[in-house]
Amino acid sequence: MTEFDLIRDYFSRVGSTRSDVPLGVGDDCALLRVPADCELALSIDTLVAGVHFFADCDPEALGHKALAVGLSDLAAMGAKPAWATLALTIPQADAAWLRAFSNGFAKLAAEQGVALVGGDTTRGPLAITVQVHGLVPQGNALRRSGARVGDLVCVSGTLGDAGLALRLLEAGELPSDRLRARLERPTPRVGLGLALRGIATAMIDLSDGLAADLGHILAASGVGAEIRLAELPLSAEVRDQFSADADWGLPLASGDDYELCFCVPERKRDQITALAERLGIPVQVIGRIVEEPGLRCLLDDGTIRDAERIGYDHFADAR
């Protein structure tokens, strides 16, 4: 199989067919039509075998995840996904692997209205780079820098599931199907991100853990936050693990959940509740933006501690 056969067979008609793509895979460049009243939102991520995923992991799930992590970045800006490019480095052209990878990528791309419009294919140690391109009406993107004192801090979904799945796999144990899917097939919160345009003041997706990622919002906005640990949304499995080891690492510092963390003015609380209900995505208010910089956690016994002081150190070295 030549490089050109490979591209034609697995990557030439992947995802949505879009009318704003006059030219996709096959020429020196793709040609894309960006509406005049929109900004183009771009993000690129690389997944390296042995670093970001197990080299022998399910290629279908890997194709899904390689696109999902980029779509999660678009969601976090309130951008609507449109196009993607894919740079694939593979040790050899394994037809079954390529078919499964391409299928996983294509299924999510089609679901989200994304067209794969180009890329690059090289031989070498397995690594996958995906660039995603989204559209957002001019001036409407949600940045990290807009949080204001008094805003509510909210998160979607549950925290720590992907981290727990990874911890179990690394210990040679089998996570439940649900946990495993949270690690290997994350759901980018695109609909929620879009719905929060004009409502949220700041937003980020949770790729490195709540403490670090909320920390980015706080730094960019020049504010601090107080979160109530009792309010963190945890699945039953993470809750059980937490009662066993009392380690805040899973909920606060494990990565790969790809949920959204965002801030909203207090007066929009009811709007958030209604929106979460309409989309069928759980959203939890976990705290509030305050003036004093840094992240503080309110514990069950009413004491307040700096986030770094409550014990999740082993995650810090893992990242």
Q: Does 276 bind ligand ADP (CB under 6 A)?
A: no
Residue 28 interacts with, from Mg ion, ligand ADP, none (CB under 5-8 Å by kind): ligand ADP
Helices (H), the chain: 3-11, 59-77, 95-111, 161-170, 177-184, 190-195, 210-221, 236-245, 249-253, 269-279, 313-318
Q: Does 101 bind ligand ADP (CB under 6 A)?
A: no
| Torsion, Cα of 312, 282, 284, 207 (10° steps) | 40
Residue 293 interacts with, from Mg ion, ligand ADP, none (CB under 5-8 Å by kind): none
SS3 (DSSP) at 88: strand
What angle (nearest 5°) sits at the alpha carbon of residue 35, between those of residues 79 and 77?
A: 10
What's the closest the beta carbon of residue 3 comes to Mg ion, in angstroms? 9
Q: Does 198 bind ligand ADP (CB under 6 A)?
A: no
Q: Does 86 bind ligand ADP (CB under 6 A)?
A: yes
Q: Name every residue whose Cβ is closer than 8 Å to that of residue 234 and which is 6 or more positions away in sequence.
A: 158, 159, 160, 242, 251
Q: Name every residue whose Cβ is closer than 8 Å to that of residue 243 and which is 6 or more positions away in sequence.
A: none
Q: Which is nearer to ligand ADP, 86 or 168 (CB)?
A: 86
What's the closest the beta carbon of residue 173 comes to Mg ion, in angstroms? 42
Residue 50 interacts with, from Mg ion, ligand ADP, none (CB under 5-8 Å by kind): none
Residue 15 interacts with, from Mg ion, ligand ADP, none (CB under 5-8 Å by kind): none
- Both tokens of 132, joined, read 């995603």
Q: Which is nearer to Mg ion, 94 or 120 (CB)?
A: 120
Q: How many helices (H) and strands (E) does the chain have?
A: 11, 11
The residue within the footprint of ligand ADP, chosen from 59, 118, 134, 160 (CB under 6 A), is: 118
Rg of the chain over CA atoms, in angstroms? 20
Q: Does 248 bind ligand ADP (CB under 6 A)?
A: no
Residue 88 interacts with, from Mg ion, ligand ADP, none (CB under 5-8 Å by kind): ligand ADP
Distances (CA, A) of 274 to 195, 259, 280: 11, 18, 10
Q: Does 25 bind ligand ADP (CB under 6 A)?
A: yes
Q: Which stretch binds ligand ADP (CB under 6 A): 24-32, 126-134, 264-272, 293-301?
A: 24-32
Q: Which stretch binds ligand ADP (CB under 6 A): 36-44, 117-125, 159-167, 170-178?
A: 117-125
Going 280 to 286 to 289 to 295, the CA torsion angle's sign is negative
Residue type, 62: L
Q: Does 11 bind ligand ADP (CB under 6 A)?
A: yes
Residue 84 interacts with, from ligand ADP, Mg ion, none (CB under 5-8 Å by kind): none
Judged by the rule CB under 5 A, the positions of this chain that interact with Mg ion are 120
What's the closest the beta carbon of residue 30 comes to ligand ADP, in angstroms? 6
Q: How far apart are alpha carbons 239 and 133 in whole angstroms?
A: 37
The residue within the footprint of ligand ADP, chosen from 59, 63, 78, 119 (CB under 6 A), is: 119
Footprint on this chain of ligand ADP (rule: CB under 6 A): 7, 11, 25-28, 86, 88, 116, 118-121
